[in-house]
Amino acid sequence: MSDERKNKSNKRSIAGALAAIYSVKRTEPWFGFVLLIVIYLVSTVFTVRTSVAEGVFEIGRAMIPKAALTGVISTISNMCLIILVVLYRDIGFCSAMGILATQVPFICVNIFILHSFTSIPGLFTNLLTMIACILIYTNQRKAIAYQQRIVEQAVTDVLTGLPNRFAGREYFSGLIKTGTKFVYVATDINNFKSINDTMGYEVGNKILIEIANRWRDLADSGRTGTYNLVAHVSGDEFGISIQEYRNEEDILKTIQAYKAELERKITIDDYDYYVTASFGYAEYPDDTTVLEDLIAKASLTLHDAKRKYSESVIVRYTDALLESEKTLKVERKIREALESDCVFFHLQPQYNINHKLRGFEALARMKDTDGSFISPMDFIPVAEETGLVDRVDMRVFHRAAKFLEDAVKKGRTDITISVNISVKHLLKNNFLEDIKSVLETYAISPSQLEIEITESVMVESVERAKAVIEEVKGLGIQVAIDDFGTGYSSLSYLHNFPANLLKIDKSFIDAMSEGKSSQKYVESIISIGHVLGLEVISEGVESEEQLEILKRIGCDLIQGYIWGRPLPPDEAEKLL
């Protein structure tokens, strides 16, 4: 840290930054100033001329002496000076008073030495304009000072005297507007609530004031080697900005300095307190270019750190953190949905190639608190990651089984209901118990049930998965290999796999329209499926063209928007 930088930092203080935020700025264009002066000068010349002019001029039938215009023109010139004071404040006032004052000696010479008594009204006008200017100017100053006091109060935190949340935001958005690189540090005092609860709010407030004073002094002293602004965001939350740092080390050193100041003993009413805090920070523009985002990311980092570490730490924001936070949010939503019975299902029809209904695939659906749907693509991976997927699977499984039971009662003993089962669930010890409980609860034949296992995940633990699937098959339930083609299935693995149905992934069906080689690929999958004794279904069939090709190359079953989208159970029932 060079001395020069230190000095620069010293000159800039939190109070200075606050003043810059609350200074009531108003800038009028300079050409207006010049224009007023020009009008003033021109009208003054005319005033002098008309005051000595002889003769008259006519308006209609009236004969008006030229000298009578003097008053009108001199009023215009004085108005120019008054407007100057109103619009240009200090500089306007000084200019107007300067102009008026310099005229006084000339007028006095005219009256008292040259005995030109026509100048007497001029002297009066001059003096009265001066008084008007002084009155306007002093009143304006009072109004501005009052205005500034109000703004100052609005941006200063009453308790600590630090810039408040609003001022902080104003300052940080100023930095963003000017493209100034800075770090935003979010922090709050650990266990502050318990201090408040046990020692009372008064002590809590005194501690906050002490912390604010220490941090203000530190920021103003320039000892951190960087330029900082500390804002009291709310309660025990503070926000610190760091500017003029060179590298990560400078940032960490700065935050360390705040941490050290905080951790020094605080004595209030003869009691000693030791407080700590964690710090989370994010950088503009590297982490984001939006202020709200920057603050949110720093706060997210702070709260994640508080959750993870028992000691107080300094943590930088990373994108991975955002991901884990998203996961956490979705996890919360899944839990809520499971609790409030908001996990339900839709049924997508599956047909044989002659458009005869084969059955339905049950697909999980979940509603957000605002009533919007969350896609299974978003919540199933999170459910798998967080161990909630078996609950989701079973919720859907039970409902699908109930649907099947109702269909069987109506005589539809020929349809199959498929449910998706996550491999994570399949590999759990209680999986078979779960399946058995469904078979025991509903009056259905296991042969009408099918479980779909995604190929790509299954290959990771193929042996164990195979053993479980054997048992499932032993119960009489059918098994489908879902999303076939997306994993690394080897022929030998397929050969040994106890499945009934191969589901070709939508991506291959989509690719078919691109060329013959993709069609050949799908054709080969179908042939292999048939050789291994499996039925083959194409997923995500959308167009007539795809359907025609699939018919030609011998696909057994079709599932896709072309013949049916996923439907709510009551609508699916109509297809029966």
**Site of interaction with ligand C2E (CB under 6 A):** 348, 363-364, 375-377, 380, 389, 392-393, 396, 420-422, 452, 454, 482-483, 539-542, 559-561, 566
Least distance in Å: CB of 499 to Mg ion?
13
Least distance in Å: CB of 476 to ligand C2E?
21
Bridge partners (DSSP) of residue 242 are 183, 228
Binding Mg ion (rule: CB under 5 A), the pick from 78, 420, 422, 519 is 420
Q: Is 422 helix (H, G, I), strand (E, B) or coil?
A: coil
d(CA 37, CA 32): 9
d(CA 227, CA 250): 11
CA torsion sign for 41, 43, 48, 49 is positive
Give 190-245 as a DSSP string.
TTHHHHHHHH-HHHHHHHHHHHHHHHHHHHHHTTTSSEEEEEEEETTEEEEEEES-
Q: Which does 377 bind (CB under 5 to 8 A by kind): Mg ion, ligand C2E, none?
A: ligand C2E
Picking from 516, 515, 506, the residue whose alpha carbon sits closest to that of residue 482 is 506
**Cα 162 from chain centroid (whole Å):** 26
- Looking at residues 422 to 481 of the shown chain, list those that interact with Mg ion (rule: CB under 5 A): 452
Q: Is 485 left (phi over 0), alpha (psi -120 to 50) or beta?
A: left
Nearer to Mg ion, 283 or 483 (CB): 483
Nearer to ligand C2E, 380 or 479 (CB): 380
Q: Which two tokens stand for residue 567?
A: 């439907």
Least distance in Å: CB of 345 to Mg ion?
12
Q: Which does 9 bind (CB under 5 to 8 A by kind): Mg ion, ligand C2E, none?
A: none
Q: Which does 556 bind (CB under 5 to 8 A by kind): Mg ion, ligand C2E, none?
A: none
Binding Mg ion (rule: CB under 5 A), the pick from 482, 523, 535, 556 is 482
Nearer to Mg ion, 78 or 418 (CB): 418
Helix (H) or strand (E) holding 359: strand 357-367
Least distance in Å: CB of 421 to ligand C2E?
6
Binding mask 529-548 for Mg ion (x = CB under 5 A): ----------x---------
Please report where in the chains the tokens 């800039």 appear, as a residue: 12
Nearer to ligand C2E, 107 or 374 (CB): 374
Q: Which does 196 bind (CB under 5 to 8 A by kind): Mg ion, ligand C2E, none?
A: none
Q: Is 573 helix (H, G, I), strand (E, B) or coil?
A: helix
d(CA 443, CA 566): 25
Least distance in Å: CB of 517 to Mg ion?
22
CB 144 within 8 A of CB 24: yes
Q: Is 437 helix (H, G, I), strand (E, B) or coil?
A: helix
Q: Is 26 helix (H, G, I), strand (E, B) or coil?
A: coil
Least distance in Å: CB of 536 to ligand C2E?
15
CA torsion sign for 456, 461, 463, 464 is negative
Binding Mg ion (rule: CB under 5 A), the pick from 304, 390, 483, 535 is 483
Q: Which does 393 bind (CB under 5 to 8 A by kind): Mg ion, ligand C2E, none?
A: ligand C2E
Least distance in Å: CB of 514 to ligand C2E?
17
Nearer to ligand C2E, 320 or 377 (CB): 377
Least distance in Å: CB of 539 to Mg ion?
5
Q: Across the chain, how many H-helices and E-strands are there? A: 22, 18
Q: Which does 566 bind (CB under 5 to 8 A by kind): ligand C2E, Mg ion, none?
A: ligand C2E
Q: Which does 535 bind (CB under 5 to 8 A by kind): Mg ion, ligand C2E, none?
A: none
Chain residues in the site for Mg ion (CB under 5 A)? 420, 452, 482-483, 539
